[in-house]
Amino acid sequence: MVYRTGSHGESINVDDISEVIHEKDSFIWLGLWQPEPSFMYKVQEEFSLHELAIEDALNAHQRPKIERYGESLFIVVKTVRRAQENTEFGETHFFIGRNFLISIRHGKSDSYAHIRERASENSAMLGYGPGYPLYCILDFIVDGYSELTVCLSEKISEMEDAMFQSEFDRNAVQMVYTMRHQLLELRNAAAPVEDICTQLIRLHTEIIPKPLQAYIRDVQDHARHVVTDADDMREMLTSAMHVNLALVTVQQNEVVKKLAGWGAVLAIPTVIFSLYGMNFDFMPELHARFSYPVVLATTLGSCVLLWNKLKRSGWL
């Protein structure tokens, strides 16, 4: 699409880009999804792009960054999409110059067609050049980060009851680990957006004029909130897991204390009965008439006294 002053956009052929791109007061917006190398080399020729940037754009799994190649910028940001219970990460690469914007989606990423339609309706903002559609896409990507933080926050609230129990739950611990991994990926995606926005505002005013800088700062602020929320939630999950393990340890200690207490109680009859089990002819009171009930009563009384003492001390 080519956007001229006061227009809502007009479709053009790729072969005509090299001619239209030299028009004054207009810019071209090209949206691609995982293009073939042969097509990207044609795009490189039409827009006079650097070969190193084209090489990066053809390869997914790039780190988020912003780099200048001649008169154009190459930007990489991570995208996120929530599919049922899974979190899917993708990438979007941008080539942006004074009069063109190329967006290239890789992996799991939603279409930007609705963003193009919304931006086309605001002809006044399109008058600022390709910086406005760049803002629209970045804002949409960061909003996806925010939606994921809200979803993960709700899941953490649901997990709190399961974590604050004295019984070990392997599934809950595994879920905590999975969520911590997702939060780390989210943080690594959102954190570089702050630096990208800072560079766009301070160093590339020819692409982001002053009227658009407030919008880019808004994206930067939202990305900063996502980073803060992700860090806070990871810390909460770590604390919850430590509390759960501490509760399990305390519960195990209580069991050990009870077993030790009962062992002490049973030690008394064990010793006495073992003593009387020895076959000595001259054992004291061996032939006494009331020796058995006296010994039995003494044993039972000693056990009751020891049990009472352990009960008061909290061991039983």
User: Contact at 8 Å (CB) between 57 and 92?
Assistant: no
Q: Which long-range contacts (CB under 8 A, 24 or more apart) does 125-130 make?
A: 126/3, 127/5, 127/6, 128/209, 128/211, 128/212, 129/27, 129/98, 129/99, 129/207, 129/209, 130/27, 130/29, 130/96, 130/97, 130/98, 130/99, 130/100, 130/101, 130/207
- pTM of model > 0.95: no
For 197, other C-beta atoms within 10 Å of its C-beta total 26
Per-residue pLDDT tens for 251-308? 777 777 777 777 777 777 777 667 666 555 656 666 666 766 777 787 788 778 877 7
* Helical axes 170-203 vs 131-163, angle rounded to 10°: 160
pLDDT more than 90, % of the chain: 33
Mean pLDDT of 83-94: 84
Per-residue pLDDT tens for 191-209? 999 999 999 999 999 999 9
* Superfamily of domain covering 2-247: CorA soluble domain-like (3.30.460.20)
Segments making up each domain of the chain, as ranges = 2-247, 254-313
Per-residue pLDDT tens for 56-70? 888 878 889 999 998
**Cα–Cα distance between 294 and 162 in angstroms, integer?**
53
The predicted pLDDT at position 294 comes to: 74
Tokens of 282: 């001259």
Q: In the structure, what pLDDT confidence band is assigned to residue 214 with cuts at 50, 70 and 90?
A: very high
